[in-house]
Amino acid sequence: MLQGNLTVTDQALIHLVTMEPLVTYPYKRILTLTGGIKYSRLNHEQTLLGGTAGMSILINHFGTIQFNYDKVYLPSYNGNLLPVDLGRITYNREF
């Protein structure tokens, strides 16, 4: 599966455009892999690259474990972009 995201932030000190293409690949309903690149352009001057990666594992009679990691750049109060690393592990089970 292919997916694309586009985000535009237009404020007094910040004009930020972020583009993110994502690819998701399922393997036999047991494993799903996701990856993508985040391209950020701040005030038509500064360009930064981040990314996202994820994995989902289905374990019979137990549930699903998901791992996600994001490297993003978020606007700060002084008009710069700050690097932020986000990680998440989740567990889901249906009853």
Number of structural domains the chain divides into: 1
Residue showing tokens 């038509």: 44
pLDDT higher than 80, residue 79: no
Reported as a single tens digit per residue, the pLDDT across 23-57 is 999 998 899 999 999 999 988 888 889 999 999 99
Domain of residue 22: give its range.
2-92
Q: What is the pLDDT of residues 62-78, one digit of tens each?
A: 999 999 999 998 877 77
Confidence of residue 82 (pLDDT cuts 50, 70, 90): confident
